[in-house]
Structure 1
Amino acid sequence: MTSGYDWAGRVGDVWADEWRRTDLSFGDLSAHLNAAIHAAAPRAGLAVDIGCGAGGTSIALAAARPDLSVIGIDLSASLVATARERGAACANLSFRHGDATELGDLAPDLFFSRHGVMFFDDPVAAFARLRAAARPGARLVFSCFDDIDRNPWATEAAAAITNSPPARPGTSPGPFAFADPDHVRAILTVSGWHGDPQAISYTQRAGEGPHAVDEALVFFSRIGPAAARLRELDDAAREEGRQRLRVVLADRLRNDAVDFPAAAWIWSCQAA
């Protein structure tokens, strides 16, 4: 389970350090997600990025809608600092450190998120607060991972560390908490939103270039299920696990890129 406390501390710090690799890994998905966000976005008004991370999705929307005010909010001070640096040239864009469900007097026309909503400790309460803050008819667009079995970047990498498959995740806060669309629909409905998901198959790129395997090894050793397993091992076992992971990554190397098939949902919703 990954909690808000984790994002505010160690996890957020690591993601801030690794933002270039995380943006690379989500590059293919982001093309689909940004298209859905831009389709839902008004020309003017206010849009809020929930768990904005290093700011890539906020920056893309601000550039596409120069008359729309865009605010990215994240629990991690390190990620917000990175996002502010990256988005400094966008006059209609700002970033805040804090809880994206506690908006004060802000009344957004659009909420959006790239993989940021699966970590709510109480998702019903969180989405209800967003609904209460939103303008009438507001839109909500977000992405989340599909079932772990459709994401071999997670299963193969984690299994390599200890030579055993990962346990199937439940619905506790974490990357696969929203994998079941029926579960997500129930949360959204009771909290005041209605909408539908689109299944997206995409390529998760772990590394590219002449040292693609090394890049992927660093990335998976710091972020994701493999990294979580590595942290639990002593030094000798950790190094053995990393070497097994390297073999898995090398097997995925094609044309100077380490790619894995991946699957996600993109939800497009409206305030009920």
Structure 2
Amino acid sequence: MNTHDAQSSLDGIRRLQDRTHNELVRQYFVLPQVATSLLVVFLVLASFDFPEPWATAARVLGCAVAGGALIVQHRRSSVRRTPTDRELVLYAGWGVSYIVVFVAFRITTWALDLPAPATIAAAATVVTAIPANPLIRRIYRGVIQQDRRHGLMDPFFNGFLHVPARLSIVALLAPASGVEFGFLRDTIKTGDSALSEQISALAEAGYVWVRTSQETGTRRTYVQLTPEGRRAFERHAAALERIVAVAQAQPQPHAGR
């Protein structure tokens, strides 16, 4: 393993992980998902203008719509991810920001003595959130991309994982909690049989789990890194980084000597 091969492998890992990151961002910020989220925000916030029991009914309906949208998105997604602590903090921050903006608009509507103040404040909050969506996308992308820099401290080179097809598979799996077989095949640009062969080898080594799902009426196969597989990938990536770092730290020979 020379420096050039190690650097090329690292570049390939990062490129494939970015493909998984991009798919995660696309799934979470696809237009129907964003529109549904904003509709739920509007419905819940505007409910403060409703008399009881309609106010409670509107909030329950909003929660039901949000839950249903999340279930549908989860079942249809080709890449799945379990939120990290940083992501949960990010989600909480988004919720708090909606509340702060709503309260600010609510105070304004109260000061101007406008009719249906909560409804107007809710509409203004949603309108404010629309142009902020690209910024939220960038923040979310930055948060999930931070994970690839964690846990890479054990410098063990893994010859079994370094086979290009296997390394491509685990690099795509690393940022997610489950990736659909078709996404792996299309991203790596290989055939079903060749991909199945490499996944079987990884499964026999204890590095991946394979499970099928029929949540949407269509049989879909998901592949997931096991804890042992994740550790092996992180250690292998660390070994590659160490090879590159050691080589870069060495003085370069001068030309002509």
Which TM-score tier does this pair reach, normalised by the shorter chain? under 0.3
Higher relative CO (CA 8 A, sep ≥ 6), structure 1 or 2?
2
Higher strand share: 1
Q: Which of the two has higher C-alpha Rg? A: 2
Q: Please identify which structure carries the higher helix content.
A: 2
The TM-score with structure 2 as length reference comes to: 0.24
| TM-score, normalisation: structure 1 | 0.23
